[in-house]
Structure 1
C-alpha cells in the first residue's frame, strides 16, 4: 500500500482557524507547488517538503487579514 496525502487527492478537507483573526483559513495547495517551477509536472507525491514519507506540507491563508501558515497533513494508506 502506498501513502498518499488525503488533501492533495481530494479524500479529506482540512479546516484551520486563523491564528490572527480566528476566521477559517483557505487551503491553497501543497507548498511544493509554490516552490518548485516544475511541480505541476510532478506526481502528487514528488517534491514535497516535511517528512516526505509521512506528511505533506500545505499552505493555508486568511483572506481577511492576509495571514498564511504551513500545516503538516498526515498521509494515509491507500
Structure 2
C-alpha cells in the first residue's frame, strides 16, 4: 500500500501545539529534507530507514516544527493517508 503525507501534499495544515506553552507550532518541513543538500531528492521510504524513528512501519511523516515563543524545535509525527 502506498501512502502520502497530507501536510507535504497540501491537503491540510499542521495543527500541533507546543508542549511547553501551547502556542501553535510552525511547520518547517520534513525531517528527511534536513539530512543534506540532496536529501529532498532521496526516496521518501529510503530516508525513513535510518532516521531513528519507527515512521516507516507506522506510516508516518516526521516534520520539524518551531515554537516562536519558546524558541524550541520539535519533531511531530504526522499519520500518512493511504493512497491507491
Name the TM-score class by shorter chain: 0.7 to 0.9
User: Closer, same or farther in 2 for the Cα pair 1:43/1:11, shift >3 Å?
Assistant: farther
Structure 1 residue runs of 4 or more that deviate by more than 6 Å after TM superposition? none
2:14 paired residue number: 14
Q: How does 1:26-45 map to 2 (within 5 A)?
A: 26-43=26-43
1:52 paired residue number: 56
In the alignment, the residues of structure 2 paired with residue 43 and residue 13 of structure 1 have an alpha-carbon distance, to the nearest angstrom, of: 23
Displacement of 1:55 in angstroms is 0.8
Tell me, yes or no, if the aligned pair for 1:23 and 1:62 is still in contact at 8 Å: yes
Aligned length: 78
- Identify the structure with the greater helix proportion: 2
Tell me, yes or no, if the aligned pair for 1:8 and 1:44 is still in contact at 8 Å: no
* Stretches of structure 2 lacking an aligned partner (at least 5 in a row): none
Displacement of 1:45 in angstroms is 5.0
